Amino acid sequence: MKHLFDVNPAKDNKKFDSFLLKTKKELSEFFGIQIEDPNIFFLHSRKDVDSAFGRKTESWLCAWAKSGNIYILHPEVYETESDHKIDHFWKTIKHEYTHLYFKQLTGIGYPKWLNEGLACYLAGQEKKVPTCEEAIKIFNYFEKGDSMVYGVGYFWVKLLIEKFGKKKFLVFLKQLEPNMSERKFAYVFYATYKIHFNKKELEVLFSKSIG
């Protein structure tokens, strides 16, 4: 693993490397593929985050994955430079690592709800169950997202995996492809789950899942 971790290097590097190896093993087993080890860049201030991300960022933004790399606030400033607690750090690393596997398997970074929801699910970042009205906002999150995309995505990914099984979910993921349109995605969803990807049928699925 290539990374920059400069606080108590002998102790922390060993712990960090152990975590990365464990995470890599778990994600490789889930997705059934291997990916190249990412470079992990630690940022030391909100100014560094803004510079690396390319714009002024919100306090909740503490990490992201791009071009095979993971960028994240250094644990020494993780709490002071974001609105997250330090125990959020490890789950965030796993969340971003999941994005790299998703991109390797599908060739794309969307649907946004699916990518973010799966990353939250595999990282153990549990979200509260949304209302039906909130859950149906899934149609707003194909290529774009906002603060609700994580909870909405987590709900639907959890439902698909736990109700229909991991095997079918991976069959579904493997049918995604670069430049996929929303219409083609809906076709793939139906071909896999025999459920039309529309408001009416997802509302029924939502009701059954919480009933």
pLDDT tens string 109-153: 999 999 999 999 999 999 999 999 999 999 999 999 888 999 999
In the predicted structure, residue 4 carries a pLDDT above the cut 70: no
Average pLDDT over residues 87-106: 95
**pLDDT reported for residue 110:** 93
Average pLDDT over residues 186-203: 97
In the predicted structure, residue 12 carries a pLDDT above the cut 80: no
In the predicted structure, residue 1 carries a pLDDT above the cut 60: no
Using 50, 70 and 90 to split pLDDT, how confident is the model at 170?
very high
Q: What are phi and psi of 68, to 5 degrees?
A: 80, 5
pTM beyond cutoff 0.85: yes
Burial class (CB in 10 A: 0-12, 13-18, 19+), 192: middle
**pLDDT reported for residue 13:** 74
**pLDDT reported for residue 7:** 42
Using 50, 70 and 90 to split pLDDT, how confident is the model at 17?
confident
In the predicted structure, residue 6 carries a pLDDT above the cut 50: no
**pLDDT reported for residue 114:** 98
Q: Which helix or strand (DSSP H or E) is residue 201 part of?
A: helix 199-210
**pLDDT reported for residue 94:** 96
Q: How far is CA 185 from each of CA 143, 147, 174, 180, rounded to the nearest angstrom?
A: 12, 23, 12, 7
- Name the nearest CA neighbour of 88 among 125, 59, 121, 55: 125
Average pLDDT over residues 168-188: 95
Average pLDDT over residues 165-192: 96
- Name the nearest CA neighbour of 209 among 114, 100, 132: 132
**pLDDT reported for residue 211:** 67
Q: How far apart are CA 149 and CA 140, in angstroms?
A: 9
In the predicted structure, residue 66 carries a pLDDT above the cut 70: yes
Where is pLDDT greater, at 93 or 1? Answer: 93
Burial class (CB in 10 A: 0-12, 13-18, 19+), 62: buried
Query: Which of 2-16, 77-91, 95-109 holds the top average pLDDT?
Result: 95-109
